[in-house]
Amino acid sequence: MINKSNKVLNTNITKLVSKDYQYGFSTNIEKDIIEKGLNEQTVRLISEKKKEPKFLLTFRLKAYKKWKQMSEPEWPYLKFPQINYQDISYYSAPKSPKKLKNLDEVDPELLKTFEKLGISLTEQKRLANVAIDAVFDSVSIGTTFQDELSKCGIIFTSISEAVHDYSELIEKYLGSVVPIGDNYFSALNSAVFTDGSFCYIPPNTTCPLDLSTYFRINDQNAGQFERTLIIAEKNSQVNYLEGCTAPQYDTNQLHAAIVELIALENATIKYSTVQNWYAGDEFGSGGIYNFVTKRGLCVGANSTISWTQVETGSAITWKYPSCVLVGNNSQGEFYSVALTNNYQQADTGTKMIHIGKNSRSRIISKGISAGKSKNSYRGFVNVTNKAIGAKNYSQCDSLLIGNLSNANTFPYISVQNATTKIEHEASTSKIGEEQIFYFLQRGICLEKAVELMISGFCREIFTKLPLEFAAEADKLLTLKLEGSIG
Amino acid sequence: MTINSPLLEVKDLRVSINETEILKNLNLKINKGEIHAIMGPNGSGKSTFSKVLAGHPAYSVFQGDIFFKGSSILDLEPEQRSHLGIFLAFQYPIEIPGVSNEDFLRLAYNSKQKFYNKPEVDPIEFLSIINEKLNLVNMSPIFLSRNVNEGFSGGEKKRNEILQMILLDSELAILDETDSGLDIDALKTISMGINNFMSPSKSILLITHYQRLLDYVKPTYVHVMQDGKIIKTGSAKLAKELEDKGYQWLK
């Protein structure tokens, strides 16, 4: 249960003016939303609404059956009230009179929403070097730069469209990295996913633009269940960015996504996330429940998959972006900053499964806990007997702010051959009143002091982010911590 | 007496922490160009006094006042006091992981520049400013790239404090046991830094247990603090006397 007691002030150092979550507005728009509840009929209805091919309906129904037999995982270090899956609407889409031919036909209200989020979809103002797929509740409302990308043979579109236009690729790869029954939330997502992004990089191609999906949950009662599938063919490269925000409601919204990455021989996929879902208020009411399965498959030799995440939002975060290193000399990376404040809870980390010879993995995790939050790193490094010469390096650092926050590290390591080299380092430190006072005494204001300490702590991760994201992430963390010190 | 008001004037100061009274009716006046030393047994309130002057939030002033350059600073935040010209060299300088000394020093320098409406300096300009100061305290430029106080030896930490004092060039420097834990060479280096810093327009408040620092830095006055107030004031000779006799005879 969430204790609504007043926020305890640790010190009486000048407080910064606590800013509200700046993306907390909601958009009033006519929408097509189905009744709450989940049963076989709901699954059929979603599939019907999207006019899906037979194979996908079969996929969904199989997932639904599986989900009914499963139960929520109990091992995470998270506490939250029972989720009522029958009290959620599984499809909510802005109403549009006809199929849109181009982005200029998108409801201006929606375009305005994304403008407010700093994401411009219109021709004139959009970012010059990033192609964006904008997902609003259950559907993708538009993808920029599609024509330009298709000239290189790159497919970047919503998964709903891909189901129709590239059904062979979808049928072949969907669920190949995260099987339907992988976990409770993946089964749920597989049954009811509504949209997401699909990206295909043909052989010998370096994607000229960064690709990005921006997820926006708008409806108070709808869950968001999106799916992303990225396939990088031989000798190809792509940078992918993901951003997320949601309005500020006092109830909790469910977000259960799946991301599947496939890297063939010599291919490199870099996947970066800045997650800023609404985190609930300072008393722990409201916020997104974020249960996400992200996994990359390094199928080909010398392939690389790199996850970088900056997790700052959500009331609950349950997320383990992983790499299955099948190809010889393949490489998996996980760089993470997870920040929790107030009553937020995060149980996040990664899995690195070594199968290929000389496969290498690198894990750098930075957890920052403030307020009364709980922040846990959970990682699994598994080196199978075939993975001759595999190497892993893991580093988990925790930073505590105040006296009431909580940081945990749960590293699991399983090694089945003697040629493996594994290193693990961990540290815990604290931003205390005396450190703050030291800065203040030297004339440096509180805001700058915290910014400097946090960015120092996260530097290794921020350098992995694309440039536009790195500056954003730095600002975001400082903003999130306002009022938590003092 | 000078025509100008004293740089620092503490009047009937009473201070508590967690409802325990630490400073009980403390009075002190420091004029420009003076060096005051405060000595006294452990737990007499010396360190508390230095932190209260700097505005540490853990202490509450419930009586009396502190005037700096003629106006009360009780309502000012620590960073405002710093900008006005109060510098505290900490007894135990804290480690700040992940923040390089160079960034820290530049930010501190620029914060002050900004306060006085002077142009902020870029990292390259700053490097030439700081290199010159490093020489004064016999520190190698390698210190700049290390994290603030992290892994510094006791002596290095103290030298880093003096470096900051020189860099910020504050009018009032409060040195809280800067001499403790130093070998004789380090003590000489630090004393040199202090004497270099001192000028007729500045003042220093030295908190120390030992008379040996006072061999190098000549105090104008020596005060003895006991049980939260100053019980005796004298010249530099008083320090010698204390060294011989201890504090008991004063009671």
pLDDT the model gives residue A34 = 78
In a domain, B3, yes or no: no
Cβ contact (<8 Å) for A452 and B112?
no
Nearest CA in chain B to A435: B94
Q: How many CB atoms lie within 10 A of CB B74?
A: 15
Measure Cα distances from B157 to A249, B17, B92, B186 in Å: 49, 27, 8, 11
- Closest-CA distance of chain B to residue A8, Å: 16
The proportion of chain B whose per-residue pLDDT surpasses 70, expressed as a percent, equals 98
| Interatomic CA distance for residues A349 and A331, integer angstroms | 17
Summarised one tens digit per residue, pLDDT across range A433-483 is: 888 999 999 999 988 888 888 888 888 888 887 766 666 667 677 666 665
Q: Which of A12, A438, A443 sits opposite B94 (nearest CB)?
A: A438
In a domain, B146, yes or no: yes
| Interatomic CA distance for residues B218 and B62, integer angstroms | 34
In a domain, A199, yes or no: yes
In a domain, A7, yes or no: no
Q: Answer yes or no: is pLDDT of A144 > 80.
A: no
With 0-12 / 13-18 / 19 or more C-beta atoms within 10 angstroms meaning exposed / middle / buried, residue B64 is middle
Measured between CB atoms, does B88 come within 8 Å of chain A? yes
- Residue A110 and residue A27 in contact, taking contact as beta carbons nearer than 8 Å: yes
Strand partners, A222: A89
pLDDT the model gives residue A486 = 46
pLDDT the model gives residue A4 = 23
Nearest CA in chain A to B169: A442
Give the domain CATH number at B238: 3.40.50.300
Nearest CA in chain B to A445: B79
Nearest alpha-carbon partner for B58 in A474, A11, A415, A75? A11
Summarised one tens digit per residue, pLDDT across range B79-135 is: 999 999 999 999 999 999 889 999 999 999 999 999 999 999 999 999 999 999 998
Please give the average per-residue pLDDT across A155-161, as a whole number.
Answer: 88
Contacts of B94 in chain A (CB under 8 A): 432, 434-435, 438
Summarised one tens digit per residue, pLDDT across range A294-353 is: 999 999 999 999 999 888 888 889 999 999 999 999 999 999 988 888 888 999 999 999
Of the CA atoms within 13 Å of residue A324, those in its CB half-sphere come to 13
Summarised one tens digit per residue, pLDDT across range B14-42 is: 999 988 999 999 999 999 999 999 999 88
Contacts of A456 in chain B (CB under 8 A): 96-100, 147
Cβ contact (<8 Å) for A442 and B57?
no
Mutate to test the interface with A, among B47, B82, B107, B165 (most CBs of A within 10 A): B107
Please give the average per-residue pLDDT across A118-126, as a whole number.
Answer: 57
Nearest alpha-carbon partner for B169 in B84, B91, B55? B84
pLDDT the model gives residue B243 = 83
Q: Answer yes or no: is pLDDT of A7 > 70.
A: no
Question: How many domains does one find in chain B?
Answer: 1
Cβ contact (<8 Å) for B57 and A11?
yes
Q: Which of B54, B83, B107 sits opposite A448 (nearest CB)?
A: B107
Contacts of B176 in chain A (CB under 8 A): none
Contacts of A455 in chain B (CB under 8 A): 98
Cα separation of the two ends of chain A: 26
Summarised one tens digit per residue, pLDDT across range A212-251 is: 887 776 666 677 888 999 999 999 999 988 876 666 666 7
Q: Answer yes or no: is pLDDT of B165 > 90.
A: yes
In a domain, B76, yes or no: yes
Contacts of B103 in chain A (CB under 8 A): 452
Q: Answer yes or no: is pLDDT of A13 > 60.
A: no
Parent domain of B132: 8-250
Q: Which of B56, B78, B98 sits opposite A457 (nearest CB)?
A: B98
- Closest-CA distance of chain B to residue A381, Å: 27
Question: How many domains does one find in chain A?
Answer: 1
Contacts of A13 in chain B (CB under 8 A): 57
Q: Which of A14, A432, A455 sits opposite B77 (nearest CB)?
A: A14
In a domain, B2, yes or no: no
Summarised one tens digit per residue, pLDDT across range A256-283 is: 999 999 999 999 999 988 877 777 777 7
- Residue B54 and residue B78 in contact, taking contact as beta carbons nearer than 8 Å: yes
Average of per-residue pLDDT values in chain A: 82
DSSP state of A123: T
Strand partners, A94: A31
Parent domain of A382: 31-103+130-436
pLDDT the model gives residue A471 = 66
Please give the average per-residue pLDDT across B150-173, as a whole number.
Answer: 94
Q: Answer yes or no: is pLDDT of A408 > 80.
A: yes
In a domain, A159, yes or no: yes
Nearest CA in chain B to A399: B97
- Closest-CA distance of chain B to residue A107, Å: 47
